[in-house]
Amino acid sequence: MLGCVVHKLEAVDSTQAALARLAREGAPEGTVVTAGHQTGGRGSRGRHWWDAPGESLLLSVLLRPAIPTAHAPQLSLVAGLAVTDSLAALNVRGRIRWPNDVLVGGRKICGVLPEAVSRGDGRVEHVILGIGVNVNQTEFPQHLRDHAISLRLATGAAHDPERLLGRLLDALDGRYEAWRVGGFAALRDAWRLGSCTIGEPVRTADGRDGVAVDVAEDGALLVRTRDGGLRRVVSRAGIGARGLEAEGDRDAARH
């Protein structure tokens, strides 16, 4: 049950780091850390995740699935779907940009960061799933202004991050259970419906231009490149200190 234990912090370096400490002490699956503000919020690819104190939903969820480490990035897709579920309950249409963004009106409202620790035999010790949602910001720093949106800007009304947390954990609980039983294949149709990536031009990390034509049963993005080839693009989860690199790691970037 996700959210069985919730640690609510006013401010922290990163909820990812705080939950990693609890995970090492043996915290159970479903443990959640939230914060009103992060001084060192982590984004994907080593970027900083900006927040304005009290205006975001910032959470990390501890998962202990019995899976190969290479499957951990699928949890990003699972979380993206759960975020769109929780937005839909507020009549907001979020679209998932593979692998880990949720957009509203073409602007980013949420980012997801899965960080996996491998046992060393290629299987997962745990995954810390970080989710940041812009909730009540009315403005953003210059570098984000053209790309970011908050729930408040999208709806014209303020929202309670606590209520959103409840909705999101409920949605994540349901999607995570479906994924545990049936793998990403069980969520694939719903994910396709909620995604804005299929049909869009993308560039693979090795610089090939193409069009995203589908998502595979394991969550890889299928890209038809200009030379006519079909390439599988696999997203990458951060792998912890005891970890191994997931094989075939490659991300696609949006044009």
Q: Which residues bind ligand BTN (CB under 6 A)?
A: 14-16, 38, 41-44, 47, 49, 58-60, 100-101, 111-113, 130-132
Q: How far is the CB of 182 from ligand BTN (least distance, A)?
A: 26
Closest to ligand BTN by CB, 38 or 84: 38
Smallest distance from the beta carbon of 229 to ligand BTN, in angstroms?
28
Nearer to ligand BTN, 60 or 204 (CB): 60
**CB-nearer residue toward ligand BTN: 75 or 231:** 75
Shortest Cβ 32–ligand BTN spacing (Å): 11
- Closest-approach residue to ligand BTN (CB): 111
Write the CB contacts of 74 (distance below 8 Å, at least 6 apart in sequence): 179, 183, 184, 218, 219
Least distance from ligand BTN to the Cβ atom of residue 83, Å: 11
Q: How far is the CB of 178 from ligand BTN (least distance, A)?
A: 23
| Residue whose CB is less far from ligand BTN, 100 or 204 | 100
Q: Which is nearer to ligand BTN, 65 or 132 (CB)?
A: 132
